[in-house]
């Protein structure tokens, strides 16, 4: 073979060898890139994994962050109906609450949780009595985060008690409301209610009421607009301590009652300074004055009827309060000190809603019968009868004068 033929054969072999070499390089490159991609995926997955309930679950932050915003938008930015159903207030009232919790109460936006989300978490727990794990699932937050901001918002709400507790206005001479026009100078009504609580086993005897339920007494005073003026939760022993009650009444109740003003109370209290009670031994409960019953035959009976209709405002207040906040209808798992704070917070937020919402939808749920007083009275009184506080002659005469005036004008009552 000539040299020329050898050169031609080598020229034909070189492209084939080059192609084989390039193919080998590409194969190695693809393999290396696949390995690099696998290492990156494994590293990022380990970095973003979170441990919950003893199990490791992967959370992709790019998916969870929009979920927080989406949940809050569904609650407070879609419609007033959705906001009321979930948080018990309309969007405007929710915005005002967040505003006063920012400035006077001192709540601030955290790194990943805004004040609006903190407040929404807190209201969800009060409204529906959900556990922190359930609320955490709704808001894509851990139970620890939910618990942390629940306590922060609770402290913020409690610091606003002077703002949220109302100052009642006495019934004036120009009042035309048939329930109140005879009670000039009346500031509202006073009564107590049972609220279920959960306490350690050793403490249950002190919190067990006459019906065998573990609960705490909450004494409250409300005005004519179903807003609370005074709240005293957490008496030891639901049967009540006569000495504590006597001292509370003699203060009276820590309330500054203006001269000639008073509150309406039931027969468990004494007719003394600042308190007007019904006549004992005479028909009083409104269910005794229902259709088919005999009309009032004396001034005392007429007074008891008008007194019962007016004092029923406290029953309506309790009914609306417990309809609004589910946490008041069953015991919670918080320590008793925290449960007491949550009870007070429910009363304060109830006032805030009543003041800032033009129409409270829970008024309609209470029903006409409760507004008129029928079927709203306690069969089992929350408070024991107080026999250690003597009636005041001046206030006994005031009650007699009211009864006489009602009877004299009974045609227009």
For the residues 240-258, what does the mean pLDDT come to?
47
Q: What is the pLDDT of residue 241?
A: 39
Q: What is the pLDDT of residue 60?
A: 46
pTM beyond 0.85? no
Q: Comparing 364 with 265, which gets the higher pLDDT?
A: 265
Is the CB of residue 211 less than 8 Å from the CB of residue 182?
no
pLDDT tens by residue, 197-230: 999 999 888 888 888 889 998 989 999 999 999 8
Give CA–CA dist 68/73, Å, rounded. Answer: 9
Give CA–CA dist 126/112, Å, rounded. Answer: 23
For the residues 281-299, what does the mean pLDDT come to?
71
Q: What is the pLDDT of residue 246?
A: 39
Q: What is the pLDDT of residue 291?
A: 57
Is the CB of residue 310 less than 8 Å from the CB of residue 316?
no
Q: Evaluate if residue 264 carries a pLDDT over 90.
A: yes
Task: Tell me the HSE value of 406 on the side-chain side, using a 13 A CA sphere.
Answer: 26
Furthest CA-CA distance within the chain: 147
* Closest C-alpha among 73, 77, 125, 92 to residue 352: 92
Distances (CA, A) of 104 to 66, 97, 313: 30, 11, 31
Q: What is the pLDDT of residue 268?
A: 80
Round the average pLDDT of the chain to a whole number and report it: 79
DSSP β-bridge partners for residue 50: 57
Pairing of strands 228-235, 262-264: unpaired
Least confidently predicted of 64-78, 181-195, 273-287, 399-413 = 64-78
Three-state secondary structure call for residue 403: helix
Is the CB of residue 390 less than 8 Å from the CB of residue 272?
yes
Question: Buried (b) or exposed (e) across 248-267, using 16+ Cβ within 10 A?
Answer: bbeebbebebeeebbbbbbb
Is the CB of residue 320 less than 8 Å from the CB of residue 362?
yes
Give CA–CA dist 185/170, Å, rounded. Answer: 5
pLDDT tens by residue, 172-186: 989 988 889 999 999
Per-residue tokens: 46:
């380990």
Least confidently predicted of 166-180, 350-364, 386-400 = 386-400
Give CA–CA dist 122/97, Å, rounded. Answer: 12
Q: Evaluate if residue 253 carries a pLDDT over 70.
A: no
Q: Evaluate if residue 303 carries a pLDDT over 80.
A: yes
Give CA–CA dist 220/231, Å, rounded. Answer: 5
Give CA–CA dist 394/185, Å, rounded. Answer: 15
pLDDT tens by residue, 83-142: 999 999 999 999 999 999 998 888 999 888 999 999 999 999 999 999 999 999 988 899
Q: Comparing 59 with 18, which gets the higher pLDDT?
A: 18
Q: What is the pLDDT of residue 145?
A: 93
Q: What is the pLDDT of residue 92?
A: 93
Residue 282 banded pLDDT, cuts 50, 70, 90: confident
Is the CB of residue 273 less than 8 Å from the CB of residue 152?
no
Q: What is the pLDDT of residue 245?
A: 41
Q: Evaluate if residue 369 carries a pLDDT over 50.
A: no
Least confidently predicted of 10-14, 75-79, 165-169 = 10-14
């Amino acid at each position: 073979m000539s040299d020329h033929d050898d050169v031609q054969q080598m020229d034909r072999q070189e492209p084939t060898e080059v192609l084989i070499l390039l193919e080998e390089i590409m194969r190695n490159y693809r393999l290396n890139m696949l390995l690099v991609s696998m290492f990156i995926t494994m590293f990022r997955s380990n970095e973003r994994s979170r441990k919950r309930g003893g199990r490791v679950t992967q959370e992709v932050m790019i998916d969870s962050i929009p979920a927080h915003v989406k949940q809050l938008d569904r609650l407070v930015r879609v419609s007033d109906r959705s906001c009321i159903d979930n948080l018990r207030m309309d969007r405007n009232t929710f915005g005002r609450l967040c505003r006063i919790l920012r400035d006077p109460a001192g709540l601030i936006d955290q790194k990943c949780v805004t004040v609006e989300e903190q407040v929404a978490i807190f209201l969800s727990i009060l409204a529906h009595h959900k556990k922190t794990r359930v609320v955490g699932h709704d808001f894509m937050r851990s139970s620890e985060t939910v618990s942390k901001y629940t306590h922060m918002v609770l402290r913020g709400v409690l610091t606003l008690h002077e703002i949220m507790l109302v100052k009642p206005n006495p019934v004036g001479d120009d009042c035309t409301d048939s329930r109140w026009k005879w009670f000039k100078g009346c500031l509202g009504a006073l009564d107590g209610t049972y609220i279920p609580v959960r306490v350690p086993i050793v403490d249950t005897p002190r919190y067990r009421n006459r019906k065998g339920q573990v609960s705490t007494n909450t004494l409250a005073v409300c005005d004519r607009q179903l807003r609370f003026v005074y709240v005293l939760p957490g008496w030891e022993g639901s049967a009540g301590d006569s000495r504590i009650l006597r001292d509370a009444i003699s203060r009276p109740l820590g309330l500054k009652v203006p001269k000639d003003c008073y509150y309406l109370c039931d027969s468990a209290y004494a007719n003394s300074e600042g308190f007007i009670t019904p006549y004992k031994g005479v028909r009083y409960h409104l269910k005794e004055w229902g259709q088919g019953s005999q009309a009032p035959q004396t001034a005392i009976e007429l007074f008891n009827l008008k007194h019962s209709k007016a004092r029923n405002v406290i029953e309506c207040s309790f009914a609306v309060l417990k309809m609004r906040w589910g946490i008041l209808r069953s015991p919670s798992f918080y320590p008793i000190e925290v449960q007491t704070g949550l009870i007070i917070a429910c009363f304060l937020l109830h006032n805030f809603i009543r003041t800032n919402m033009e129409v409270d939808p829970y008024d309609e749920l209470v029903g006409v019968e409760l507004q008129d007083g029928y079927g709203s009275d306690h069969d089992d009184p929350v408070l024991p009868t107080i026999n250690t506080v003597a009636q005041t002659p001046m206030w006994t005469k005031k009650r007699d004068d009211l009864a006489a005036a009602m009877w004299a004008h009974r045609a227009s009552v």
